[in-house]
Structure formats: C-alpha cells, structure tokens
Amino acid sequence: MRYIWITFVALAALMIGVFSWPKQQPGSSLKNQPNREQLPMESAVWTSNRSAKPLPDSVVRFAMQQLGTNYCYAGNTPATGFDCSGFVQYVFNQFKIEIPHSTSLLISVGRSVGRTQARPGDIVVFTGTAATATTPGHAGIVVSEPGQPLRFIHSSSARRESGVKISQVEGTDYERRFMDVRRVL
C-alpha cells in the first residue's frame, strides 16, 4: 500500500510540474521568450512595478477611447458621463495616478511646464468661461506634440457638441482662458 501512495504522489507532482511549466512556442526556445520584465510598456499598460510610469501615448490612447462620452456635471465614469476634472481623474486613475476631481486642485498637481513644452499626457488648465474669471474652471489632457498648435481632449459642457472631444487652444476662447500646463507623467 505504501508503494501505491508513493507512486500516486510522484505522479501528482509530475502532473503539476507539467501543467505549470511555461509553454514553448513551436520553433522557439524558452531563452527567446520574453519574461515580464522584458516586455515593453505597450504590452502591459501598467506593471506591478510601482516605479514604472505609464507612457504618455498610452494615457492619450486610453483618453481617446472615451471620445463621444456624454458630459455630466460631477460625472467621473463613462457610464454616467464626465465633467472636465472627472474625465482627467478617470483617465489617470486607470494608470494608478491619483488626480483630484476638482479643477481648482488640478492647477497644483505635478509640475508646471511652459505652454510651448506641452506634450501628450500633460494636463492643461483654463479659467472658467466668464470674461473676468481668474481661477481654474476647466481642464483637459494634451494630445499634441511640442511645436504643434496646442490641442487637448476634454469633457466639454458646451451647448453645441458637449461631451468628450478634442479642441485647440490657438485661435479659440481657450487661448484667453489658458492658465497652465501640468506634467504628472
């Protein structure tokens, strides 16, 4: 009876080892297979390594997936819709970056960079729509490259074309309302 149990345990251990062994692709060796640390950030938008930062392109690509989502005052999910800071918060939270759901607090996140140095993934902050406004009232995420006209994705409450969309700063009322560009990546 002892030999039966030893044989059973040995076979069970062998089966566990076979099924948990890394799968090998036909025509390749395990040496050529990338491990998790070798995979580019594009393969896994976020890794368990807390020191790794998401690529700005990944942030912008995720934000673009929200285009057309409805505007909703105080909203912060695609199911209910977004307000401007709720949209920014939602996008960055997907990458484990805590952002406040308050435009007045967004002016102090990360570090300030010059408007001409704005790059994809930066946060852009504007005053409110009133002509006399001097405090933060709107925000979005930069999608343009340095040297190009400053374009950003945001959730707009505009009567015409409200919701998540892309807008440009130059030549629009956003130019008058521009306050700062904040880099958090």
- One DSSP character per residue, 28-86 reads --GGGS--TTTS-TTTSSS-S-TT----HHHHHHHHHTTTTPPB-TT-EETTTEE-HHH
What stretches in the chain show pLDDT beneath 50?
A: 18-50
> Catalytic pick from 154, 165, 177, 182?
154
pLDDT in tens, 160-175: 899 999 999 999 999 9
CA separation for the pair 117, 146 (Å, rounded): 5
Is 101 catalytic? The answer is: no
What pLDDT does residue 48 have? 37
pLDDT at residue 54 in the model? 78
Q: Tell me what pLDDT residue 41 has.
A: 34
Active-site residue (options: 138, 151, 165, 177): 138
DSSP assignment letter at 111:
E
Q: Tell me what pLDDT residue 53 has.
A: 72
pLDDT in tens, 111-122: 999 999 999 999
Active-site residue, from 60, 63, 72, 84 = 84
Domain 56-183 is found in CATH 2.60.40.10: no
Place of tokens 């300030």: 112
138 is a catalytic site residue:
yes
Contacts 24+ apart (CB under 8 A), 15-20: none
**Domain ranges within the chain, ordered by starting residue:** 56-183
What global pTM score does this model have?
0.72
